[in-house]
């Protein structure tokens, strides 16, 4: 009967049997709603969900995994949870996975390949059905571990052309090269690249920038690269350091918008005209970059779309299907604004 008191387990947890009794239906129907994703009528689904809410029922995902041979977990490894770039990527992942009943189990690698391997070993204890990794620069042991577990995996934010690999991203090198070509087209010749954190994507942007400058027959750009964590404050300091080392610089490409925004603020404090005295450009086109004064030129990257497309590719792999493409290039957009 609907008013029957729940008969809980020895642990005190409300069971599917309790929900079935409260809703006046069978355990098979409750299982279809919470475990197997099977079809029930909208009215019955509403009744079961109302009963579960009243009793405080929480589905046992471990039991579901044993019954279906699926955990409905996806392991996601990202470098940082404070970087807007990766937060937006996570939003895209969740937008795709959640309607399919998948839950993210996430870990932050702090830009360390060794830490990534350690964390992956820990996440495998949760028996994920698939893995989403940031970048393509991993320790060999990481790739071997994924292969030994026969886990489908998709690399994000970079393009992996290795046999058997799946990836969704864009060319970091070409993003850097686009800034170089833009500077040169505007007549700037004393160019510099300023970077922090120095993860593989940052290094790739700098390499693309340098190669494009050299390919145009110009002198190699000045480079200032430090291992410190990127921040607006660091960008302000690095602007002064770069100009102290090379006073004649007339255009600086900062590896991300945090640094570039800090450089803009510091230029204002120092009375340096941007772009009259010095052109400045960044990377990732964070929301505030369109509203700085002057507005910041930056490479807009499709972070949320990368998350969505990588999650969609992983869904195909977890279902045993081959995606339409193994390496999906989403490209980028160079947003030219007042700073250059």
Please report the pLDDT score of residue 64 as a whole number.
Answer: 54
* Shared-domain flag, residues 151 and 204: no
Which residue segment(s) compose the domain that 105 sits in? 71-170+303-332
Whether 6 has a pLDDT exceeding 50, the answer reads no
Residue 14 makes CB contacts below 8 A (sequence gap 6+) with 6, 8, 55, 56, 57, 58
Please tell me the total count of domains within the chain: 3
**Residue 338 lies inside a defined structural domain of this protein:** no
Structure tokens at 194: 């300023």
Whether 54 has a pLDDT exceeding 90, the answer reads no
* Shared-domain flag, residues 131 and 21: no
Q: Is residue 204 within 8 Å of residue 193, measured between CB atoms?
A: no
* Shared-domain flag, residues 30 and 49: yes
Structure tokens at 253: 């490409």
Q: Is residue 201 within 8 Å of residue 158, measured between CB atoms?
A: yes
* Shared-domain flag, residues 185 and 280: yes
What's the Rg (C-alpha) of the chain?
Answer: 25
* Shared-domain flag, residues 145 and 177: no
CATH code of the domain containing 47: 1.10.260.40
Q: 3-state secondary structure string, the chain?
A: CCCCCCCCCCCCCCCHHHHHHHHCCCHHHHHHHHHHCCCCCHHHHHHHHHHHHHHCCCCCHHHHHHHHCCCCEEEEEECCCCCHHHHHHHHHHHHHHHHHCCEEEEEECCCCHHHHHHHHHHHHHHCCCEEEEECCCCCHHHHHHHHHHCCCEEEEECCCCCCCCCEEECCHHHHHHHHHHHHHHCCCCCEEEEECCCCHHHHHHHHHHHHHHHHCCCCCCEEEECCCCCCHHHHHHHHHHHHHHCCCCCEEEECCHHHHHHHHHHHHHHCCCCCCCCEEEEEECCHHHHCCCCCCEEEECCHHHHHHHHHHHHHHHHCCCCCCCCEEECCCEEECCCCC
Whether 5 has a pLDDT exceeding 70, the answer reads no
* Shared-domain flag, residues 102 and 151: yes
Q: Is residue 238 within 8 Å of residue 224, measured between CB atoms?
A: yes
Structure tokens at 237: 């300091």
**Residue 47 lies inside a defined structural domain of this protein:** yes
Span 307-324, mean pLDDT? 96
**Residue 240 lies inside a defined structural domain of this protein:** yes
**Sole residue written with tokens 């005190």:** 12
Which of these, 300, 306, 304, 287, lies nearest to 333 by C-alpha position?
300
* Average pLDDT across the chain, whole number: 91
* Shared-domain flag, residues 192 and 239: yes
Span 29-45, mean pLDDT? 78
Span 106-125, mean pLDDT? 95
* Shared-domain flag, residues 198 and 313: no
Span 198-202, mean pLDDT? 95
**Residue 153 lies inside a defined structural domain of this protein:** yes
Structure tokens at 279: 């052109």
Whether 93 has a pLDDT exceeding 80, the answer reads yes
* Alpha-carbon gap, residue 123 to 130, rounded angstroms: 11
CATH code of the domain containing 264: 3.40.50.2300
Span 242-251, mean pLDDT? 98
* Alpha-carbon gap, residue 1 to 236, rounded angstroms: 69
Of 33, 67, 101, the one marking the end of a domain is 67
* Shared-domain flag, residues 244 and 153: no
Q: In terms of pLDDT, which residue wins out, 26 or 214? A: 214
- Strands 327-329 and 333-335, bridge-based pairing: unpaired
* Shared-domain flag, residues 288 and 317: no
Span 301-318, mean pLDDT? 98
* Shared-domain flag, residues 278 and 184: yes
């Amino acid at each position: 009967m609907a008013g029957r008191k729940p008969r809980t387990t020895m642990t005190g947890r409300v069971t599917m049997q309790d929900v079935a009794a409260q809703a006046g239906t069978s355990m098979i129907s409750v299982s279809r709603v919470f475990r197997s994703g099977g079809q029930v009528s909208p009215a019955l689904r509403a009744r079961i969900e109302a009963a579960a809410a009243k009793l405080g029922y929480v589905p046992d995902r471990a039991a579901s995994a044993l019954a279906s041979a699926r955990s409905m977990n996806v392991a996601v490894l990202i470098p940082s949870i404070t970087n807007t770039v990766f937060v937006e990527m996570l939003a895209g992942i969740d937008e795709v996975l959640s309607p399919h009943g998948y839950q993210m189990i996430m870990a932050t690698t702090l830009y360390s390949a060794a830490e990534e391997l350690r964390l992956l070993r820990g996440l495998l204890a949760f028996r994920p059905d698939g893995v989403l990794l940031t970048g393509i620069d991993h320790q060999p042991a990481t790739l071997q571990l994924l292969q030994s577990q026969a886990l489908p995996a998709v690399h994000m934010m970079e393009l992996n052309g290795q046999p058997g690999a799946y990836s969704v991203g864009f060319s970091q090198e070409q993003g850097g090269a686009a800034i170089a070509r833009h500077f040169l087209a505007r007549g700037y010749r004393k160019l510099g690249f300023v970077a922090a954190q120095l993860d593989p994507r940052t290094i790739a942007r700098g390499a693309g920038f340098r190669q494009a400058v050299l390919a145009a027959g110009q002198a190699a750009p000045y480079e200032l690269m430090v291992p410190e964590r990127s921040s607006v404050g660091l960008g302000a300091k690095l602007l002064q350091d770069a100009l102290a080392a090379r006073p004649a610089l007339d255009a600086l490409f900062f590896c991300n918008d945090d640094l570039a925004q800090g450089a803009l603020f510091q230029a204002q404090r120092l009375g340096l005209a941007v772009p009259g005295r010095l052109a400045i450009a960044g990377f990732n086109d964070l929301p505030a970059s369109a509203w700085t004064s002057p507005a910041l030129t930056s490479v807009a990257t499709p972070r949320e779309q990368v998350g969505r497309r990588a999650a969609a590719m992983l869904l195909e792999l977890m279902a045993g299907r081959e995606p339409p493409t193994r390496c999906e290039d989403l490209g980028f957009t160079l947003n030219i604004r007042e700073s250059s």
